[in-house]
Structure 1
Amino acid sequence: MMTDAPTGSHTARNLRVWLVTLGAGLAMFGAGAASATESAPKEFRVCQDPANMPFSNEKGEGLENRIAELFAGSLGVPVKYYSYPQRFAFVRNTLRYKLPGEDFRCDVMLGVPAGFDQVSGTKPYYRSTYALVFPKGKGLDEVKTGEDFLRLDPAKLKALKIGLYDKSPASKWLARHDLVDQGVPYATVDVVAEHYPGWMIDNDLVKGKIDVAILWGPVAAYYADKIKDMELVVVPLKSEPGIKFDFEIAMGVRYGEPEWKKQIEALIDRHKEDLDRILKAYHVPLVDEQLNPIGTEAGPAAGGPCRLIPCAGKTRFDPRCLLHPLTPRSHVPPEASACLRSAPVSISPASTSPASASHMRRTRRTTRRPNAACS
């Protein structure tokens, strides 16, 4: 079961469990980080999972893809992705992967838990938490908090089927509150290619095989928002003594590259408002240090007014244009100002196909020019 953030004293197995159940899906790695050249980068080289929405995918639709484009545009260089499934020794095969006489394949991971000691972590750029997800109108509408859920009539609680990832914080939470028999566990490390972070929602919650799901908040909110034939409610959970639900997320580089780490942290500072807008656009449940929710209203829904506004001379536009660093603000018409402030990226990113066998190839590189969003 998950405890606090991992440190060097944790075992490899516990670290893997911690990362996978957090929703990032990272696995354990091997040793041997080495310093890279710390000159000005010619490319912004990102380590990514090719099928890990809402964080990243091969189509560049994830929130970390948006961040990569933002940072690359700020540096004036193209984005290059080095893709590898996170369930298979991710860091060893991406950030640390280097053959004799060759350069590293990628230089930064855009979403790692703060305190994760297998990378040199930056300052955190957001904090999120686990969340309950359930259909509206199915007898749980009075649930607004985790405490409300636990105060439900005992008979109602005992009748629920609650989906959760094994060894996640939810396991310990159910055990503490005498709900173990109601738990429906899912494998923490699932090697089935067709299974993805939101599988529990898309395939079991929607079909009534389970009544409630407990997932890492960004995953819960993203997949709940994608379901259009029923309304799903997302309720962020607060940590309890001995059960930590909330975690800070940072970026990670190799050890021995302090100047590169400083550059990344400078980008985080420079683009704090842009990062917040990206996170809100993907409905990430954000909480502050006191675990109070931070507003995540993202503005007009996809397909609403924002999609009809000209951008950079186009009659129709990809909403990413409004955020993109290479789109001059002078090219954004006055009527777009509300969208620019509240919804600069697509509110409902396009649906992602399940991971396929093609995603499981050992290596894959994708280069995206900084202006790809508006092309």
Structure 2
Amino acid sequence: MGARPVLTLALALLACTGGDARAQALPDDSPRTAFRVCQDPNNMPFSNLAGEGFENKIAELFGRDLGLPVTYYSFPNRLAFIRNTLRYKLPDEAYRCDVVLGVPAGFDQVSATKPYYRSTYALVFARGKGLDQVRSSDDLLALPPERLRTLRIGVYDRSPASMWLARHGLVDRGVPYPMMSPDPEQYPGQIIERELAQGRIDAAIVWGPIASFFARRVQSAELQVAPMKSEPGLPFDFSMAMGVRYGEPKWKKQIEDLLARHRGEILAILREYGVPLVEEPTTATAGQ
């Protein structure tokens, strides 16, 4: 969600693709010799080339279950990520990878599995600068107006965070950062590691897995993480799934079976990385 990692407005943390998702080559039905993962090479805490992300750990877990080696096809998770990874196939060649381990539930560029975790955007700030009592977005809004007027809040453009600032009359408090940088060395956690830790901003609103991971990794400041609260018409929490190509129902079922079989281990991995987990909404609240 997953952040450069793929969304448009709602979860601009997983990159979107162009073209008709269903207009693609026929699936490759040859026997699988590896668990082949499509990944971003520099997108912690999700994935990187060194295999240090939680999606890498889940891939290794699945590979062991299937008795297959895990291989990766890496491409920066920006525009056309799915087209250049999961759907990329040259004539007379096999697909380069077979599964994306982090897509928004219902993402129509792939055949998405059932969700396997749900997280939320979060506010990150340094302790000792007048925000220590903030535990949620409601607490932030309850600050005295004179305090709110002094804040510099970093947000990625076109994200739910920027919409939230606009809704609450705080646009002039926002410091926008581009969601999709052309620099391959750029990664979403830089807003915390560089901008927040070095005092260029007072707080940042980012996707929860990124917020928690980088808040713990920064050594130069003691950072606190507070979840953002969804509002009518403005959600902050989203369910994440895995994605395979359309036309591969058996493979999708196999992935969903792995998710169900290893649910406890997956949750342990997510908690190890500090991913803020929230409950799936009930039927009564799902549309709010």
Q: Is the 8 A contact 1:198 1:219 kept in 2?
A: yes
Aligned to 1:229, the other structure's residue is in SS state coil
Distance 1:245 1:113 in 2: 13
Q: Residue 133 of structure 1 aligns with which residue? A: 124
User: Is 1:92–2:90 an aligned residue pair?
Assistant: no
Q: Residue 27 of structure 1 aligns with which residue? A: 16
Unmatched tracts of structure 2, length 5 or more: 283-288
Q: Partner letter of residue 65 of structure 1?
A: N
User: Is 1:60–2:51 an aligned residue pair?
Assistant: yes
Distance 1:181 1:18 in 2: 20
Distance 2:163 2:113 in 1: 29
Q: Residue 220 of structure 1 aligns with which residue? A: 211
Shift of 1:269: 0.3
Where in structure 2 are the equivalents of 1:31-42 lying within 5 Å?
A: 31=20, 32-38=23-29, 40-42=31-33
Q: Residue 275 of structure 1 aligns with which residue? A: 266
Q: Residue 18 of structure 1 aligns with which residue? A: 9
Q: Residue 275 of structure 2 aligns with which residue? A: 284
Aligned match for 1:107, one of 74, 88, 98: 98
Q: Residue 179 of structure 1 aligns with which residue? A: 170
Q: Residue 206 of structure 1 aligns with which residue? A: 197
Q: Residue 158 of structure 1 aligns with which residue? A: 149
**Could you list the per-position Cα deviations for residues 29-67 of structure 1 after superposition, in whole angstroms to 9, with x for gaps in the alignment?**
344323434465210000001111110000000000001
Distance 2:31 2:278 in 1: 35
User: Is 1:264–2:239 an aligned residue pair?
Assistant: no
Aligned match for 2:229, one of 234, 238, 252: 238
Q: Partner letter of residue 268 of structure 1?
A: L
Shift of 1:290: 4.3
Structure of larger gyration radius: 1
Q: Is the 8 A contact 1:163 1:200 kept in 2?
A: yes
Aligned to 1:98, the other structure's residue is in SS state coil
Q: Partner letter of residue 41 of structure 1?
A: R
Q: Partner letter of residue 151 of structure 1?
A: A
Q: Is the 8 A contact 2:122 2:228 kept in 1?
A: yes
Aligned to 1:224, the other structure's residue is in SS state helix
Distance 1:213 1:74 in 2: 39
Shift of 1:242: 1.0
Q: Partner letter of residue 145 of structure 2?
A: P
Q: Residue 286 of structure 2 aligns with which residue? A: none
Q: Residue 244 of structure 2 aligns with which residue? A: 253
Aligned length: 276
Q: Residue 168 of structure 1 aligns with which residue? A: 159
Distance 1:131 1:77 in 2: 37
Q: Partner letter of residue 236 of structure 1?
A: P
Aligned to 2:77, the other structure's residue is in SS state coil
Q: TM-score with structure 1 length normalisation?
A: 0.71
Q: Is the 8 A contact 2:12 2:179 kept in 1?
A: no
Q: Is the 8 A contact 1:67 1:275 kept in 2?
A: yes
Shift of 1:194: 2.9
Q: TM-score with structure 2 length normalisation?
A: 0.92
Distance 1:18 1:67 in 2: 27
Q: Partner letter of residue 172 of structure 2?
A: D
Q: Is the 8 A contact 1:163 1:183 kept in 2?
A: yes
**Could you list the per-position Cα deviations for residues 191-247 of structure 1 after superposition, in whole angstroms to 9, with x for gaps in the alignment?**
122321111111110111100100000011111110122210011112100111010
Distance 1:34 1:71 in 2: 26
Aligned match for 2:135, one of 144, 151, 168: 144
**Could you list the per-position Cα deviations for residues 325-366 of structure 1 after superposition, in whole angstroms to 9, with x for gaps in the alignment?**
xxxxxxxxxxxxxxxxxxxxxxxxxxxxxxxxxxxxxxxxxx
Aligned to 1:112, the other structure's residue is in SS state strand
Shift of 1:18: 3.2
Q: Is the 8 A contact 1:35 1:254 kept in 2?
A: no
Q: Residue 300 of structure 1 aligns with which residue? A: none
Aligned to 2:169, the other structure's residue is in SS state coil
Distance 2:7 2:137 in 1: 26
